[in-house]
């Protein structure tokens, strides 16, 4: 099996590269990244090859077309900073590049598993189902919805091709530290508290998110590879938790007693409550999350402490 992971030096992509090389020992795995937000340190233990290019560059696509053939493409490359407002850049990078990649995958007869986002739902009331409430509140969410529509149209035109879109909710876990300000709130709050600083939250910390641990996201990706299925699926835990709860869990695990410092939210597109309906993922992928927020944080904290404990 020959595997391509775009955005493979990033958070989820690098975790996926490591998971695949451990599960499929004989697979040939290639990571493609332009290293704009990914980091080489995420790939220190990766044994496959790295292709350094940008999927928005036609030369990159021609190089892939002329020199490679893959059985499966995991497409993680994207602008993941939800605060970017450059609509042209967001749409070119996330949506248009995906269309070109699907055309390449068709030539290769490759299965495609790609990263969509809960951002497609905007401020829709939860629980969020794949077939309704698609009202993104910013261009990032719109670009992911555009990707989903491109994928659905491609599935109709090429019914023999397998394409799986995974709508990630709020993912956290190891190898996200290079994302900077776009790293998860679990990571950012833990770092502050480890450093002896008060956690800071938008008023009043009761906004809720479906926080999903990266190991469950990897599980969903591997199921998408192994199942003979096409479609778009939510990937979360199916349970929303508040930011105040994160602070409470971190206090318990770290043996601290910090009270949050609250400040005004500057974003008008901010989602107050996300929660995945997992019915379709359970029935068609066989996906069942294994980590609660408490269990995920407990598993993750030793990694964060190894980075930041003095």
pLDDT digits (tens, 9 = 90+) for 254-277: 999 999 999 888 877 778 899 999
Predicted pLDDT of residue 195: 94
Does 132 participate in catalysis according to the annotation?
Answer: no
Hunting for tokens 């043996």 — which residue is that?
255
- Whether the pLDDT of residue 248 is over 80: the answer is yes
Q: What is the mean pLDDT of the chain?
A: 96
Residue 40 CA: distances (Å) to CA of 11, 45, 175? 11, 10, 11
The structure's pTM equals 0.96
pLDDT digits (tens, 9 = 90+) for 152-161: 999 999 999 9
Does 179 participate in catalysis according to the annotation?
Answer: yes
**Concatenated DSSP letters for the chain?**
-EEEEETTTSHHHHHHHHHHHHH-TT-EEEEEE--SS--GGGGTT--SEEEE--TTSHHHHHHHHHH---SEEEE--S---TT---HHHHIIIIIIHHHHHHHHHHHHT-EEEEEEEGGGGTTPPSSB-TTS----SSHHHHHHHHHHHHHHHHHHH-TTS-EEEEEE-EEE-TT-GGGGGGS-HHHHHHHHHHTT---EEETTS--EE-EEEHHHHHHHHHHHHHSS--EEEEES-S--EEHHHHHHHHHHHHT--PPPEEE----TT--SB--B--HHIIIII-------HHHHHHHHHHHHHHHH--
- Whether the pLDDT of residue 50 is over 80: the answer is yes
Predicted pLDDT of residue 270: 76
Burial class (CB in 10 A: 0-12, 13-18, 19+), 305: middle
More confident residue, 269 or 172: 172
pLDDT band at 43 (very low <50, low <70, confident <90, very high): very high
pLDDT digits (tens, 9 = 90+) for 202-239: 888 899 999 999 999 999 999 999 999 999 999 999 99
Q: Which residues of 236-269 are buried (b: 16+ CB within 10 A; e: fewer)?
A: bbbbbbbbbbbbbbbeebbeeebebeeeeeeeee
In the set 114, 121, 144, 179, the catalytic residue is 179
- Whether the pLDDT of residue 167 is over 90: the answer is yes
In the set 140, 168, 213, 300, the catalytic residue is 140
Predicted pLDDT of residue 145: 98
Query: How large is the average pLDDT for residues 299-308?
Result: 96
- Whether the pLDDT of residue 310 is over 80: the answer is no
Residues in the chain: 310
pLDDT digits (tens, 9 = 90+) for 125-150: 999 999 999 999 999 999 999 999 99
């Amino acid at each position: 099996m020959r595997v391509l992971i775009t955005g493979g030096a990033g958070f989820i992509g690098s975790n996926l590269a490591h998971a695949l090389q451990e599960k499929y020992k004989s697979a040939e795995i290639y990571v493609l990244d332009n290293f704009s937000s990914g980091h080489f340190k995420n790939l220190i233990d990766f044994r496959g090859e790295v292709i350094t290019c940008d999927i928005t560059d036609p030369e990159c696509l021609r190089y892939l077309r002329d020199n490679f053939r893959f059985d499966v493409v995991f497409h993680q490359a994207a602008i993941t900073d939800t605060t970017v407002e450059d609509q042209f850049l967001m749409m070119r990078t996330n949506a248009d590049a995906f269309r070109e990649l699907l055309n390449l995958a068709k030539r290769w007869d490759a299965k495609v598993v790609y990263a969509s986002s809960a951002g497609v739902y905007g401020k829709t009331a939860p629980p969020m189902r794949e077939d309704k409430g698609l009202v993104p509140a910013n261009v990032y969410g719109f670009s992911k919805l555009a990707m989903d529509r491109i994928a659905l149209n491609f599935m109709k035109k090429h019914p023999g091709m397998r394409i799986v879109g995974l709508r990630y909710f709020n993912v956290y876990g190891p190898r996200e530290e290079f994302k900077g300000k776009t790293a998860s709130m679990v990571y950012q709050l833990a770092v502050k508290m480890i450093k002896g600083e008060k956690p800071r939250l938008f008023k009043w910390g009761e906004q809720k998110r479906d926080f999903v641990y990266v190991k469950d996201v990897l599980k969903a990706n591997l199921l998408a590879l192994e199942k003979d299925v096409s479609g778009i699926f939510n990937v979360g835990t199916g349970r929303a938790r508040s930011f105040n709860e994160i602070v409470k869990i971190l206090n318990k695990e770290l043996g601290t007693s910090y009270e949050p410092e609250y400040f005004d939210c500057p974003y008008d597109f901010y989602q107050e409550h996300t929660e995945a309906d997992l019915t379709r993922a359970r029935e068609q992928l066989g996906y069942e999350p294994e980590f609660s927020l408490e269990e995920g944080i407990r598993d993750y904290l030793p990694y964060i402490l190894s980075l930041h404990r003095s």
